[in-house]
């Protein structure tokens, strides 16, 4: 495939046309393929999906309910399991279908919700349901409350994923931002879901919430930890991950790491101390207790990556440990200086902190240099 956007290829367009033609013989498949492929190569992944959706709209029956009926009859099998791991890009085949519903169906609520109920069993209607929450919030939340008890895990996941305040690749929904307590009411129905798929989505929803309303996250996490099962505790810990990385005192306290650590950091080593862009550097150090009591510690490392202007920290999870009185622990981690879509390493001095129970302690620096020439 080469690139991610290459998933929406002319071959996929032809496959989509064949699926529709199988259930709707009057479908102008050749015109659809021409329209969907025209200009496709110049577009990125999501724009390609939207482009294909608009080509569908031009070729499907003009009455929206009739068009949706054709699309639903053309659908393939539902997700084979209650997980998405291992599915890869394959479910993205139905992204144009969800775009069609979101762009064409706001004035036909019942038809659109029925379509999203079926589509989310094969891809995910998390983005396409958001315009309906925005325009019909009370009506849609009533439907979502019902879907939170649906026997299909992917439908239940839609309840939490579609209401995330910061859903990736999707626009914000002002109504959700203004009424986060209504989101919590839905998540209450899902916090003990039997599937990891749904519980992971609930944790991600709460993690988003904490960026806008840390007080509500703390209150919810505190309440949920009372009498919590191991599965629910794991959900809450995952939900608090960003708050912990930010060093939020209340989040650390909830997890049992609220006390100030009596420790020193010794023997810090960076190997190599000068690392070319694209390679890796290993950090090792000793943590020494200065306390007469045992200590529960949450240890992270923050690297201040050099940016075009200034620096910005990136926090890496390291370890949780119980450090004995006057004891020591040998710790190590490795940082990649490879280029990522969200971070492009630049030459310069990279300061490092060790964060222990949220408190940052300076731990030296390593030097990033230009990539070696072959």
Question: What is the edge-to-edge ordering of all strands in the sheet holding 328-336?
Answer: 263-271, 280-289, 328-336
* Cα–Cα distance, 176 to 135 (Å, whole number): 11
The first and second tokens of residue 156, run together, are 């239940």
The first and second tokens of residue 360, run together, are 């940052």
Asked if 269 contacts 288 with a C-beta cutoff of 8 angstroms, the reply is no
* Cα–Cα distance, 177 to 168 (Å, whole number): 15
Residue that the structure tokens 């005192």 belong to:
249
Q: Which pTM was predicted?
A: 0.85
In terms of Cα–Cα distance, which of 205, 206, 204 is closest to 219?
A: 206
Residue that the structure tokens 């039997």 belong to:
194
Going residue by residue through the chain (374 aa), what tens digit of pLDDT does each one get? 346 789 999 999 999 999 999 999 999 999 999 999 999 999 999 999 999 999 999 999 999 999 999 999 999 999 988 887 666 889 999 999 999 999 999 999 999 999 999 999 999 999 999 999 999 999 999 999 999 999 999 999 999 999 999 999 899 999 999 999 999 999 999 999 999 999 999 999 999 999 999 999 999 999 999 999 999 999 999 999 999 988 898 999 999 898 889 999 999 999 999 999 999 999 999 999 999 999 999 999 999 999 988 999 999 999 999 999 999 999 999 999 998 767 788 999 999 999 999 999 999 999 999 987 65
Q: What angle do CA 112, 32, 57 make, to 5 degrees?
A: 25
Q: What's residue 80's pLDDT? A: 87
Bond into 272 cis (ω within 30): yes
Radius of gyration of the chain (CA): 25
* Cα–Cα distance, 155 to 147 (Å, whole number): 6
* Cα–Cα distance, 65 to 130 (Å, whole number): 20
* Cα–Cα distance, 173 to 133 (Å, whole number): 8
In terms of Cα–Cα distance, which of 167, 255, 250, 258 is closest to 216?
A: 250
């Amino acid at each position: 495939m080469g690139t991610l956007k290459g998933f929406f290829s002319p071959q996929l367009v032809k496959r989509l046309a064949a699926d529709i033609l199988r259930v709707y013989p009057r479908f102008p498949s050749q015109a659809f393929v021409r329209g969907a492929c025209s200009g496709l190569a110049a577009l990125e992944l999501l724009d390609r999906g939207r482009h294909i959706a608009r080509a569908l709209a031009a070729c499907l029956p003009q009455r929206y309910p009739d068009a949706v009926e054709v699309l639903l009859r053309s659908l393939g099998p539902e997700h084979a399991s209650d997980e998405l791991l291992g599915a890869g890009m394959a479910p993205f085949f139905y992204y144009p279908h969800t775009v069609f519903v979101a762009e064409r169906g706001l004035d036909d609520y019942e038809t659109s919700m029925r379509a999203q109920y079926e589509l989310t069993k094969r891809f995910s209607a998390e983005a396409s349901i958001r315009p309906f929450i925005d325009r019909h919030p009370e009506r849609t939340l009533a439907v979502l409350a019902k879907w939170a008890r649906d026997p299909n895990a992917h439908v239940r996941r839609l309840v939490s994923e579609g209401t995330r305040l910061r859903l990736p690749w999707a626009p914000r929904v002002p109504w959700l931002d203004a009424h986060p307590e209504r989101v919590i009411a839905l998540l209450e129905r899902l916090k003990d879901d039997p599937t990891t798929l749904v519980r992971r989505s609930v944790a991600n929803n709460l993690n988003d919430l904490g960026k806008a309303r840390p007080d509500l996250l703390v209150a919810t996490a505190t309440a949920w930890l009372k009498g919590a099962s191991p599965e629910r505790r794991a959900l809450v810990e995952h939900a608090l991950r960003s708050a912990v990385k930010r060093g939020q005192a209340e989040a650390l306290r909830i997890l049992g790491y609220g006390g100030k650590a009596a420790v020193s950091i010794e023997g810090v080593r960076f190997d190599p101390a000068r690392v070319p862009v694209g390679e890796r550097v290993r950090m090792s150090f000793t943590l020494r207790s200065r306390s007469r009591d045992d200590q529960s510690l949450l240890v992270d490392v923050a690297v201040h990556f050099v940016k075009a202007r200034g620096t910005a920290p990136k926090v890496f999870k390291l370890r949780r440990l119980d450090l004995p009185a006057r004891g020591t622990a040998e710790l190590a981690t490795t940082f990649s200086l490879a280029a990522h879509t969200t971070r492009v390493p630049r030459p310069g001095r990279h300061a490092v902190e060790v964060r222990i129970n949220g408190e940052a302690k300076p731990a030296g620096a390593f030097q990033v240099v230009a990539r070696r020439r072959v």
